[in-house]
Amino acid sequence: MTLAYEHLGEKLWERVDVEPSGNAFNSLLQLEADNGIPRNPFINAGAIVICDILLEISTDPKDEMLEFIRNLSGEKNIYFIEKVAASEMKNGFRNAAMCNYMKSFGNIKNKPEDVLDLYFHFCSIEMTCKELSRSLLYLANSGRNPINKTEILSASKAKRINAILLTCGFYDESGEFSFLVGLPGKSGVGGGIVAILPNHYCITVWSPKLNPKGNSYRGMKFLEEFTTQTGESIF
């Protein structure tokens, strides 16, 4: 999303909205109601549109993404797990349905198989909690990477991404996470959660058991206790 936002600016929001979904992360009904425009970039359909955009603006988005993350984290040994990507491709029927459905509305410009290949590879990046925290420190530092002092995004764009993380980062449990934890954040199907307190820190937790909403059960519990005990949240 950062790469697409930096390239397209506010035109990005013509392809994907910034509203909480209120539905499951892989809802087809919502796409139909919204004429093929995903409700936000952090549900599956939104991430698929972002991948389509990256195919338009980059000659090799896979390599560009890995290089981007390596520079952010300061760790050069970050790769895709090809076995995981292949498994996602083999079993990702609902994601394929969403991609083709958005194609019928004209919101996917490239071949669906190319978009899905990129999406499934992005879902298969292997990182440690430390590497992931370092990679998103720029969102806690007004868009600037504190490791090498480079500007990744303007402060205004970083603020907007944090706002979407707060309202949309946990699918149809985003309100619950904001209520209990009080931080912008994003969960992943691998059981990881990254959370950000602007101007203070970025924290990553990992526990693979997911709750019915698709978020790490113990990760959410820990972060709720963490912000309660430290008294540090955006509220």
Q: Is the pLDDT of residue 25 over 90?
A: no
Q: How far is CA 95 from CA 65, 98, 151, 195, in A?
A: 21, 5, 33, 26
Sign of the CA dihedral 172, 164, 223, 175? negative
pLDDT higher than threshold 90 for residue 26: no
Can you tell me the distance from the alpha carbon of 190 to that of 123, in angstroms, rounded to the nearest whole number?
A: 9
Higher pLDDT, 149 or 195: 195
> Burial of 141 by CB count in 10 Å (0-12 exposed, 13-18 middle, 19+ buried)?
buried
Encode pLDDT of 139-154 as tens digits.
999 999 998 899 999 9
Say if residues 97 and 27 touch (Cβ distance below 8 Å).
no
Q: Is the pLDDT of residue 24 over 80?
A: no
CA distance between the termini of the chain: 26
Q: What is the pLDDT of residues 67-102, one digit of tens each?
A: 999 999 999 999 999 999 999 999 999 999 999 999
Give tens-digit pLDDT for 124-135: 999 999 999 999
Statement: the pTM of the whole predicted model exceeds 0.75: yes
Distance CA 41, CA 96 (A): 17
Domains of the chain: 1-126 (3.40.710.10), 128-227 (3.40.710.10)
Q: Is the dihedral of CA 104, 110, 114, 116 positive or negative?
A: negative
